[in-house]
Amino acid sequence: MNDKAYLPFTRPTLDEETIQGVADVLRSGWITSGPMVEQFEKGLSEYLGGKRFLRTYLHATGAMEEALVMAGIGAGDEVIVPAMTFAATANVVVRVGAKPVLVDVDLRSRAMLMDQAAAAVTPRTRAIMPVHLNGMAADLDAVYALAKKHKLRVIEDAAQAIGTEYRGRRIGSFGDIVVFSFHANKNLTTIEGGAVSVATAEEAKRLEILRFHGITKHPDGTMDVSEAASKHNMTDVAARVGIGQLKHLDGFNRKRRELAYRYFELLADESLALLPAKGDAGHSWHMFTPLPLYMKYGLDRNTLKQRMHAQGIGLGIHYQALNQFSFYKKMGYKEGQFPNAERIGSETLTFPLFPTMQLSDVDRVCTALKHCLTQKA
C-alpha cells in the first residue's frame, strides 16, 4: 500500500454545525418526521426557485416507486428506461406491476438514445424515465417532446443530479415528476433519503399519503386510511443533515466541477482512458466515470483496480448494464442487446471525486493510472 493517505472514490462532507444540529435534534425528543422535515422541504423548494412542491422520503427508491403509483402506472403498463442506470430505476417499475422497456445509452453522456426510446413506444407505454446519470442532465427537450407526442408521464431519475442545471434551469425546478436521492455518496446527503418534486399541491398531497400508510389526518385527531400504502417518511435527524448540506451544495458542486475539469486536462489525449462527456457548467459531477483502456495495456479491470488500491487510491464500479443481471435476463433481455450500456458496465471505473479533494489529488490519481497501466507484471 502506498504510504500516502488512502484516497477513496467518494467521501461525505459534514461540517461541525451540522453535527451539532443533529445532536440538538436528538436531545429535542422529536427525532422522526417533524419540524426539521418541514424546514428541509421548504429549503429544497426555495433552492429550486420556490414554484415546486417538494416531499421528502426515507430513500429515493421508495420515492420513485410511489411517484410511479401517483402517476397511475401499474399492471400491464410499460415504462421506457435506459439500460445503463442503477438497478432501482427499473426495479421500481417492476414493483408496481409494470414492465421496464430498456433502451441503449450514449457511450459518453450515458443518456438514453432518444431514437431508440421513440422506437420503443407501444400502445402500452405510459411513462418514460430519463436518468441524469453522474450528474449530467439528459436531453430533456427530446424527452418531453416524445412524452407530449404520446401523452406519457415523465419520471426523471435525478438521484445523482441535485444542483444540476439544464439550459440554465435547475433540474427539479420544472418538468413533470423529478426524484432526487440523498444517499451517503450523493452531492447532498441526508445519510439515506430522497425527495420528489412535483408541480401541483394535489400531487404533493398524494405523495404525503403514499409515504405514510395511506393515512390522512383530521383536525380532531382522527384519521382515515384511503389506500394500502407503505411507509417512507424521512426522519428529523436525517432532515437536519440535509439542512446543513443544502447551505453548501453550490460550493460542493463548484468544487466537483473544478476537480472534473482537472481530470479532463490531464487525460485529454485519451491515451489512458475514454472520457465521459464533459457537458456544460450545469453538470454537477456526482461521479467521474471514464473507461480506462486497460485492455490496450494487456490488463483486466480487476487487475487495474487492485494496482490502484496498492497505490492508495480507491476506484468504484458504477454500474453494470441492466440486461447483465439475472433478473432482467429472465425477462427476456440478452447480452449484446445494448452494446454501449454493456461496454460502460464492463469497462467503467469510478475515479475519486468529492469536495474535500485537492487538485493535487487528481494529479496523483492520473499519475498512478499511467503507472498502473504501463507497469510490467
Buried b (16+ CB within 10 A) or exposed e, 8-27: ebbbbbeeeebeebbeebee
Closest CA to 65 of 53, 51, 76, 79: 79
Closest CA to 188 of 359, 354, 21, 45: 354
Which residue's entry shows cell 485537492? Answer: 358
Cell numbers placing 156: 426523471
Confirm if 57 and 232 have CB atoms less than 8 A apart: yes
| H-only helix segments in the chain | 16-28, 35-47, 60-70, 87-95, 114-120, 140-150, 201-210, 236-266, 301-310, 326-330, 339-347, 359-374
Rg (CA), the chain: 21
Residue type at position 79 = V
Measured distance CA(213)–CA(231) in Å, rounded: 6
Measured distance CA(76)–CA(372) in Å, rounded: 50
Measured distance CA(73)–CA(61) in Å, rounded: 16
Measured distance CA(262)–CA(249) in Å, rounded: 20
Catalytic residue selected from 186, 205, 329, 376: 186
148 is catalytic: no
Residues labelled catalytic: 186
